[in-house]
Amino acid sequence: MELDAFLEIKNVTKEFPGVTALSDVSISIKKGEIHGLCGENGAGKSTLMKILCGVYPYGTYSGDVVYKGKVLRLSSDSIHQAMREGIAIVYQELTLIPLMTVGENIYLGKEPRIGPSIDWNKLYSDSDEVLKRYKLPIVPHEIVRYLGVGQMQMTEIAKALSENADVLILDEPTSALSEAEVDKLMEILHTLKSLGVTCIYISHKLEEFFRITDTVTVMRDGKVVTTQPTKQLSLEKLVNLMVGREMKERFPKGNRKPGEIFFKVEGLRAIDPADPSREVVKGVDFELRKGEILGIAGLMGSGRTELVTTIFGEYGLLTAGKIILNGKEITIGSAREAMQHGISLVPEDRKRLGLVLIQTILSNISLPNLNRFASFMRINGHAEVAEAEKFSKSLSIKAPSVHVLAESLSGGNQQKVVISKWLMSEPKILILDDPTRGIDVGAKFEIYKLMNQLAEQGYAIIMISSELEEVLGMSDRVMVMWEGRSNGTLGIAEATQEKIMARATGIEIA
Amino acid sequence: MFNQIMAAFKKNIRSYVLIIALVVIWLGFGIAQPAYWSADHIQDIFMQMAIIAIMACGMVFVIVTGGIDLSVGFGAGFVSVIAAAMLYYKTIEAPLASMGIAGQTLEVVTALIVIIICIAMGALIGVLQGSIIAFLMVPPFITTLGGFNIWKSGILLVTGGKSLFISSNDTYKFIAQGRIPPIAGFVIAVIAAVLMFIMVFRSRARKQKYGIQVGNLVWELVRTVIFVVLLFGYIVIVNKAYVPGVPFLVLILAAVALLMNYVSTNTRFGRYAYAIGGNREAARLSGISIKKSLFSVYVTMGALMGVSGVALAAYVGSGTTAAGSGYELDVIASCILGGCSPLGGEGTVFGAIIGALIMQSLTNGLQMLNVSSNLQYMIKGVVLILAVWADMTMKKRKA
């Protein structure tokens, strides 16, 4: 095994309008090692991987990636180029075609041919050969939709390795796997290592790094904090490295005075209606006061979004537990009913769930609120415009008028449109699901100020956030979620990043 | 002032592209064949497009929600043969006559009852298909493809393979064949013009009341004057035709178009349709009942199909075995040509009407130039594709 770097990332900086996603990142990866990459959401891991596999081609970032002694220059016209160079990636979400067989999926887009027709015999014998070489226990003729999640992942790995990859990137491969499947994956990774494949392993489950990796790089805010051999690290140390930073004045001081408890969730459990065998909320309790901001922390996949969309009546089917508003148990079966109870949800993905992008700011803001302007046959268009302009002004949405299309706005302004839309419905409880994701620092600050104002006016706010700093900077209390359940609620005075992380990773259980 | 007008015009250029295309078509055919501009032809063209255009007003909503309705051709045909059968077999007339009603009164009452039954039939077809689409969640393409075949069979069953002539009721045939007296046309135009001007000022006053910035008054007035001039020009021309007067069917179309245009922008029903087509998930999370909205859209489509069916029977003067055949494609083409996005979320009633007019203008022009009918479909097909491609290119450049 050679000791010098096989894949070296040198001073890479990547900027998006208003955000520096990676700043001066240098990592060197040795041949044949399993290199762990950890960090909070938004630390820059995914951006870095996208550079390695050519989603962001050479020239869109500064710095160099040196691979096998040469500068890697991936062009923009083909993201398959990285694969031909021997760098393959297995994404977090599976990208297989369910109705095709394992073999067809492995060779999708590169089917062996005789003249114009596909050489099925070669396709299946080659697939078989790949699966055997890497000791993946699946059969090429199996239809993918009948496989378990773990086996689908194996198919993904086989697909990635089918072009004799030297580097395999695994982006949170275990987030959907059961314990037994994780064990199986670890076994496969050992096999790959023994065959000389270099792996970059990204995960939110920290203990996995100690099971499998040789070296771990910790990233934070687009920078590399450290790269160390796994042997020198401990779980606690890793958590410290991930979050350990000083709090800056990034959060406006509010003057919130939380009032009495008026909303409670007790022992809530819910299943996915599309797949009743899957429990998505596994026991959540919390209380909410008037005029407070309750932060919900937790890693991706910990069930935060599932919880709030279930409360909003649009996702899970309740199997146990109660939702109590003003001392009365309520049931919520749809967004409309939630709104009638005074609950509003600003969903996590504003483009997909929050906005009708091809419509104007006006139409978006008034969409859930048309009833107030409408009689049976008529909408009072003038009142609607006047009201929308009022919100646009008070939230300082930067646009020439409310008649501008939502798709033309920046992320921060889009988010303000979604918030306006829900404020107009005059809720008592405003749920914000990761409200500042993907928006720049300045716009974040404005959204924080807005949250303070709203809480001061007596709105109760529930804020999900992937950024620990944000949770600590903005909340009065923090509920931590872990594996679908609430793992304790911390008052802001006692909450620290380490304590939250310990609960979010299940190291500490309430 | 002229500069202001030009600036406003430039800002709205995309909405006028269709109208410009229409003007170009009219100029081209008019130069090649002067009869194209004759009073008789101008009277005809709006009348001929009406049946398609009425359904296009409903189809806009269907396409805006991201759906499609393939059943409207034979659906309207089915309604038309029901109407023809009721008149041919004197189903309504005979009981009424036995009650002692006779003469002109008998004709009018019979016609009214037939019209009500037929529009209800259309709405019922909408209820049926709408339920399947909205509540059983069968895709619109499949549901209405089924409907296409079902109503086709319905036509054959009702007619028994022969044409049912409407010989006894001229009042009914007036719906699609009659013209209103020339003076009535003028009266309607004057009322409409006065209303348009009142609306301009009323809207500005209300905007000011709500503290909304008002647009350029000159431009708004110029636009209104242009509409009024076109309206009066049309009335003057059709009053010179061989059978003078505005066709009654065009009046029905105008009423339907104005109503549906209003519904599309000023009612919850309309706004929800656009939201659902624009982003179904966001609409659902905004508390909109997708099922109820989709259902209502198909019921509306059905009712307008009923109106077209009534008109079709009156226009042809009989119920035929091929009634409505191929209309669905003309209706859909009108909407797409008029700017509806097949992916949903975009499209206007006004655009669809212009789309229908463009299609009809092409058909008539080609016929008047004696272009072989074998070739006409090909030309219309090419124009449709070119128009949509041009529209998409314009949009891209804007973005």
All structural domains of chain A, each given as residue ranges with its CATH number in brackets, are 5-243 (3.40.50.300), 248-342+427-510 (3.40.50.300), 355-426 (no CATH)
Average pLDDT over residues A216-242: 87
Chain B closest CA to A355's CA: distance in Å?
6
pLDDT at B15: 65
B191/chain A closest Cα distance in angstroms: 22
Residue A62, strand partner residues:
A13
End-to-end CA distance of chain A: 45
What confidence tens digit (pLDDT) does each residue in A142-192 have?
Answer: 998 888 888 888 898 898 888 788 899 998 887 767 777 888 889 989 998
Q: Which of B209, B266, B286 sits opposite A368 (nearest CB)?
A: B286
Provide the percentage of residues in chain A whose pLDDT is more than 70.
95
Residue A2: its pLDDT value, please? Answer: 43
B158-183 confidence digits (pLDDT tens): 999 899 999 888 899 999 999 999 99
In this complex, do B282 and A355 lie within 8 Å of one another by their Cβ atoms?
yes
- CB-CB neighbors (< 8 A) of A353 in chain B: 281-282, 285
Average pLDDT, integer, range A236-248: 68
Which tokens belong to A366? 């008034």
Residue-wise pLDDT tens digits, A85-108:
888 888 877 778 888 899 999 988
Which pLDDT band, with edges at 50, 70 and 90, does B399 fall under? very low
- Tell me what pLDDT residue B11 has: 59
- DSSP-derived secondary structure letter, A113: E
Mean pLDDT in residue range A350-367: 92
Chain B: residue whose CA lies nearest to A388: B212
Please count the other Cβ atoms lying within 10 Å of the Cβ belonging to residue A348. Answer: 19
pLDDT tens, B216-265? 888 889 989 999 999 999 999 999 999 999 999 999 999 999 999 999 98
| CA-based nearest distance A487→chain B, Å | 28
Chain A hits for B271, CB-CB cut-off 8 Å, are: 363, 367, 370, 379
For chain B, the straight-line distance linking the first and the last C-alpha, in angstroms and rounded, comes to 29
Query: What pLDDT is attached to residue A161?
Result: 85
What are the pLDDT digits (tens) for B332-345?
999 999 989 888 99
Contacts of B265 in chain A (CB under 8 A): 381
Least confident of A240-244, A395-399, B223-227: A240-244
User: Following CA atoms B111, B114, B119, B120 in sequence, which dihedral angle do they give, to the nearest 10 degrees?
Assistant: 140
Which one of A344, A370, A371 makes the best mutation probe of the B interface by having the most chain B beta carbons within 10 Å?
A: A370
Q: Which residues of chain B approach chain A closer than 8 Å at the C-beta?
A: 203, 206-207, 209-212, 265-268, 271-272, 274-275, 278-279, 281-289, 345-346
Give the pLDDT score at A428: 93
Decide if pLDDT at A310 tops 60: yes
Q: Rounded to a whole number, what is the distance in Å from the CA of B272 to chain A's nearest CA?
A: 8
Tell me the average pLDDT of chain A: 87
Q: Find, in chain A, the residue whose alpha carbon is nearest to that of B260.
A: A377
The yes/no answer to whether this complex scores an ipTM above 0.90 is no
Q: What does the H/E/C string look like for chain B?
A: CHHHHHHHHHHCHHHHHHHHHHHHHHHHHHHHCHHHHCHHHHHHHHHHHHHHHHHHHHHHHHHHCCCCCCCHHHHHHHHHHHHHHHHHCCCCHHHHHHCCCCHHHHHHHHHHHHHHHHHHHHHHHHHHHHHHHHCCCCCHHHHHHHHHHHHHHHHHHHHCCCCEECCCCHHHHHHHHCECCHHHHHHHHHHHHHHHHHHHHHHHHHHHHCCCCCCCHHHHHHHHHHHHHHHHHHHHHHCCCCCCCCEHHHHHHHHHHHHHHHHHHHCHHHHHHHHHHHCHHHHHHCCCCHHHHHHHHHHHHHHHHHHHHHHHHHHHCEECCCCCCCHHHHHHHHHHHCCCCCCCCCCCHHHHHHHHHHHHHHHHHHHHCCCCHHHHHHHHHHHHHHHHHHHHHHHHHHC
**Is the model's pLDDT at B20 over the cut of 90?**
no
Q: Which residues contact B175 (CB under 8 A, 6 or more apart)?
A: B111, B115, B248, B249, B252, B310, B311, B314
The alpha-carbon gap from A375 to the nearest alpha carbon of chain B, in Å, equals 8
Shortest Cα distance, chain B CAs vs residue A83, angstroms: 33
- Statement: residue A456 has pLDDT above 80: yes
- Give the chain A residue nearest B213 (alpha carbons): A386
The pLDDT value recorded for residue A249 is 60
Is the per-residue pLDDT at A254 higher than 50? Answer: yes
Q: Are B286 and A383 an interchain contact pair (Cβ–Cβ within 8 Å)?
A: no
Q: What band does A18 get if pLDDT is binned at 50, 70 and 90?
A: low
Domain boundaries, chain B: 2-178+247-398, 179-246
Q: For the segment B88-107, what is each residue's pLDDT rounded down to a tens digit?
A: 999 998 999 999 888 889 99
pLDDT at A247 (0 to 100): 42
The answer to whether B209 contacts A382, with C-beta atoms less than 8 Å apart, is yes
- Test B212 with A385 for CB contact under 8 angstroms: yes
For residue range B257-293, what is the model confidence (pLDDT) as tens digits?
A: 999 999 998 899 999 999 999 999 999 999 899 999 9
For residue A419, which residues of chain B lie inside 8 Å, CB to CB? none
CA quadruple A307, A311, A312, A315: dihedral sign: positive
Q: CA-nearest residue of chain A to B269?
A: A377
Q: Which of A382, A422, A433 to mutate to test the interface with B (most CBs of B within 10 A)?
A: A382
- Pick A382's closest partner by Cβ from B206, B274, B287: B206
Q: What is the mean pLDDT of residues A14-34?
A: 85
Instruction: Count contacts between A and B (CB, < 8 Å).
Output: 85
Residue with the larger pLDDT of the pair A19 and A37: A37
Q: Using only C-alpha atoms, what is the Rg of chain B?
A: 22
Question: Under DSSP, is residue A289 helix (H, G, I), strand (E, B) or coil?
Answer: strand
**Average pLDDT for chain B:** 91
pLDDT of A41 > 80? The answer is no
pLDDT mean over A304-328: 91
pLDDT-derived band at A275, boundaries 50, 70, 90: confident
In what helix (H) or strand (E) does residue A67 lie, and over which residues does it extend?
strand A62-67
pLDDT per residue as tens digits for the range A280-308: 899 999 999 999 999 999 887 788 999 99
Which of B211, B279, B289 lies nearest to residue A356, judging by beta carbons? Answer: B279
Residue B18 has pLDDT above 90, yes or no: no
Average confidence (pLDDT) over B185-210: 92
pLDDT of A184 reads 86
Could you tell me the fold of the domain covering B2-178+247-398? ABC transporter involved in vitamin B12 uptake, BtuC (1.10.3470)
- pLDDT for residue B122 is more than 70: yes
**Can you tell me the distance from the alpha carbon of A479 to that of A287, in angstroms, rounded to the nearest whole number?**
10
Model pLDDT for residues B44-77, shown as the tens digit of each residue: 999 999 999 999 999 999 999 999 999 999 999 9
Interface test with B, best of A312, A355, A356, A418 (most B CBs within 10 A): A356
- Find the CB nearest A355 among B210, B279, B284: B279
Q: Reply yes or no on whether the pLDDT at A42 is more than 70.
A: no
pLDDT of A1 > 50? The answer is no
User: How many whole angstroms separate alpha carbon B340 and alpha carbon B64?
Assistant: 7
Dump pLDDT digits (tens) for B359-375.
999 999 999 999 998 89
